[in-house]
Homo-oligomer: A and B are copies of this chain.
C-alpha cells in the first residue's frame, strides 16, 4: 500500500508534547501538507472550523478555593455506555489517512484508556475489526443511511453482532463545499482508501466525502435521511439511537419528542455548512431547549481538558474528539491516541480541581463565562 502522504509514526511520544493540544502542531511533521490540511480544515473557507475553536477561547473558568473534592471522579452514564470519563472518540472516516493501521490503532488506544470509540460507517477497517481491537471497552457504531435500505439494515445487524452498544446516526453531511485550501494544495483522495464496511455490498460502496474531481459538489439531496428512515431504524434495533449533527433547538426538541436516546450537537467539525455557528454556541441553546436531563454530547473544537470542562459547563454530558485522534494517530499510532486521551483527562482533572468540582455534575454549576 502506498502511503506516501504519511511519515512513519514513532514508537515513543515526542518530548515536545506536554499538552494534548501539542499534537495539533507536532502532527504536521507526520502528514504531508495537503493531507494535513484536508484533516485540519473545514469546508469552503473554513469559517465554521475556526469558529468552533474560537468559541472555547472566548470563555473563562473561574477558579474556586477550599472546596472539598475528595472522592471525585469523572464518570458519566449515557444510554449505550457507562463511561470512566467523558471523552469519546468521534467517528472519523478513513483513519488510514493518518496511520497505516487506521481505526485498529485507535481502537487499541480506546481499549487501554477506557474510552468509548464511535466507529464510522466509512472506516478503513471493518466494524468487526474495530470491535475486536477495542475489546471490552465501550463502542458505538456511526451509521450513514444507505440508498439501499437492506444494506442499512445489514450494517445495524453487524454492529449488534460485533457488540456495539449504540447506533449514532449522522444527519448533517449530505452536501458539502470542499475544503478549498486542501484542494489548492493539491490534495487528492488516495486511491487505496476503501470503505471496508461497504465493500461486500457491490456497487454501493460510497467513496469519501471529498474528492479531486471536477464537480464541485458530491453527494445528493436524495441521500438525506428522513423521519421514515429513523422510524424504520428504531423498529429494527433495540440499541439506543443517538443523532449526530443537530444544531438547532427546534430540531433537538423534535428528536427528543420522537424518543431518541440522545443528541450529539455537531456541525461536522465545520466540514458541512461553511458559515454554520460554533457547535459550542448551539449547545447552550439546545440544552436550554431540551431541559437538564436529556443526554447531549458536544462535538467540535475540543483541544484541551479545559475545553472539555467548558463544554460540560454549558450543558454537555460528554464530548467527542475528532481531529485530535487523527493528529495523535499520525504521530504515534495507538500509543499517541492513548497519550492524547491521557493528557485530556489530566487537564480535565486539573480544571476540575482548580474549579472545585468533584464530579461532572458539579461542573454544570461552575462559573464559565
Q: Is A21 an interface residue (CB 8 A)?
A: yes
Q: Give the oligomeric copy count.
A: 4
Known: A273-B63, A353-B175, A354-B272. A183 touches B44 (CB 8 A): no
Q: Flag whether A69 is at the interface (Cβ < 8 A).
A: yes
Asked if B63 and A248 make an inter-chain contact with CB atoms under 8 angstroms apart, the answer reads yes
Answer yes or no: A19 CB below 8 A from chain B CBs: yes
Is B62 in contact with A247, judged by CB distance below 8 angstroms?
Answer: yes
List the B side residues contacting A282 at CB < 8 Å.
62
Q: List A236-265 residues whose CB lies under 8 Å from chain B.
A: 243, 245-248, 250-251, 254-255
Distance in angstroms between the alpha carbons of A261 and B226 in the assembled complex: 41
The answer, yes or no, to whether A351 is at the interface (CB within 8 Å) is: yes
Contacts of A65 in B (CB 8 A): 171-172, 243, 245-246, 248, 251
From A32-40, A80-88, A217-225, the one touching the partner chain is: A217-225
Is the Cβ of A19 less than 8 Å from the Cβ of B272?
Answer: no
Contact for A304 among B44, B60, B255, B306, CB less than 8 A: B44
- Residue of B177, B227, B273 touching A19 (CB-CB under 8 A): B177
Contact assessment for A354 and B217 in the assembled complex, using a CB-CB cutoff below 8 Å: no
A175 touches B216 (CB 8 A): no
Min CB gap A58→B, angstroms? 11
Residues 174-193 of chain A: 1 if any B CB is under 8 Å from the residue's CB, otherwise 0? Answer: 11111010011000000000
A residues 195-230 with Cβ under 8 Å of B?
Answer: 216-217, 221, 224-227, 230
B57 & A251 in contact (Cβ 8 Å cutoff): no
Q: Does A277 contact B (CB under 8 A)?
A: yes
Check if A22 sits within 8 Å of B180, measured CB to CB: yes
Q: Which residues of B contact A44 (CB under 8 A)?
A: 19, 304, 306
* 8 more A-B residue pairs beyond the given contacts A60-B276, A65-B245, A248-B367, with a C-beta to C-beta distance below 8 A: A64-B247, A64-B250, A66-B226, A66-B255, A69-B224, A175-B354, A275-B351, A276-B354
Q: Would you give 15 A-B contacts (Cβ < 8 Å), ordered by A?
A: A22-B180, A48-B60, A60-B275, A62-B277, A63-B172, A63-B272, A63-B276, A64-B247, A65-B172, A174-B353, A224-B353, A248-B367, A273-B350, A273-B351, A273-B354
Query: Which residues of chain A have a CB within 8 Å of any CB of chain B?
Result: 16, 18-19, 21-22, 44-45, 47-48, 51, 57, 59-66, 68-70, 171-172, 174-178, 180, 183-184, 216-217, 221, 224-227, 230, 243, 245-248, 250-251, 254-255, 267, 272-277, 282, 304, 306, 310, 343, 346-347, 350-351, 353-355, 367, 369
List 9 tightest A-B contacts by C-beta distance, closest first: A60-B277, A65-B171, A273-B354, A275-B306, A175-B350, A63-B247, A63-B273, A61-B275, A62-B248
